[in-house]
Amino acid sequence: DELRNFKHDYQDILNGLRISAEEGNIKAVVQQLAKYTDSQVDDKSLRKYQDVNHIHVDELKSIAITKLAKLYNEQFPYSFGCNVEIYRIPQSVNILDIVRIIGITFNNAIEESRKFSDKSNAKVDAMYYQEDGNFEFKIRNKIVNDTELSTDILSKEGYSTKKNHAGIGLANIKRIESKYEECMLINYGFEDGWFTFDLEIMPDNENMEEE
C-alpha cells in the first residue's frame, strides 16, 4: 500500500523536476531517471501481490503468494483481493485442509488457463474475505468452452484434470468437505464462460452453539 502511494507521489515530483530541468544540464539525467522509474515501478509489478499484506495467517498468505507468483510468471491476467485484515480464522477446520483446497482450485484455474491459445483471453479472479469471524475464499476462472458436464460428474473419481477443468481435484475437495459438514460450505459450477468456486468456514461461535 505504501509503495503504491509512493509511486503516485514520486511521479508527480518527477514530472515537476522534468519541467524545471528541460533546458538545464541535468536533462539527460532526468530522462534516465524517468526511464528507470517506468521499468522498475510499474503497475503490473505492484499488483503482483496486491492485498497479501492484509493476511496475517502465515499459511493463507503463503499459498496465496505461491499461486499468484505462478499466475504472474505464466503471464495470465489475474486479480486478487483481501480488503480486510485477517488475523485469525475459525479453528474448527484444519488449516492444512483449507490450504489444500485453495491450492487445488488455483491449480485447476491455472490448468484451464493454459488451454487458451491467447493468454490474454484467460482470467483468474480470487479473493479472501472475513466477516463476523468466518473465513471465505472465492475463485473463478474463464473456461475455454462452456461445458454441459455437471459439477457432480466432474467431481467423480476418474476424471483427469488434463481432460477437463477439475476432475480429481474436485473429488479430493469433496472428501475434505465431508469431514466438516457442520462448519464448511462449498459451492462451485459453470456460468457464462466461467468456472466459479466458493468456500466458507463458519465462525467458531456458531459451531459451538450448534453443538
**68-103: pLDDT as tens digits:** 999 999 999 999 999 999 999 999 999 999 999 999
Q: What is the 8-class DSSP label of residue 178?
A: G
Q: What is the 8-class DSSP label of residue 115?
A: T
Q: What are the cell numbers at 200?
A: 466458507
Short-list 52, 65, 18, CA closest to 37:
18
Q: H or E segment at 111?
A: helix 95-113
The CA-based angle 203-179-86, given to 5 degrees, is 30
Task: Assign residue 166 a region (left: φ > 0; alpha: ψ between -120 and 50; beta: otherwise).
Answer: alpha
pTM of the model: 0.74
Q: Answer with the residue of higher pLDDT: 165 or 119.
A: 119
Residue 147: pLDDT over 60: no
**For residue range 17-64, what is the model confidence (pLDDT) as tens digits?**
666 666 665 666 666 666 666 665 556 666 678 899 999 999 999 999
Band (pLDDT 50/70/90 cuts) for residue 167 is low
- For domain 51-210, give the CATH number: 3.30.565.10
Q: With beta carbons less than 8 A apart as the criterion, state whether 173 and 101 touch.
A: yes
Residue 107: pLDDT over 50: yes
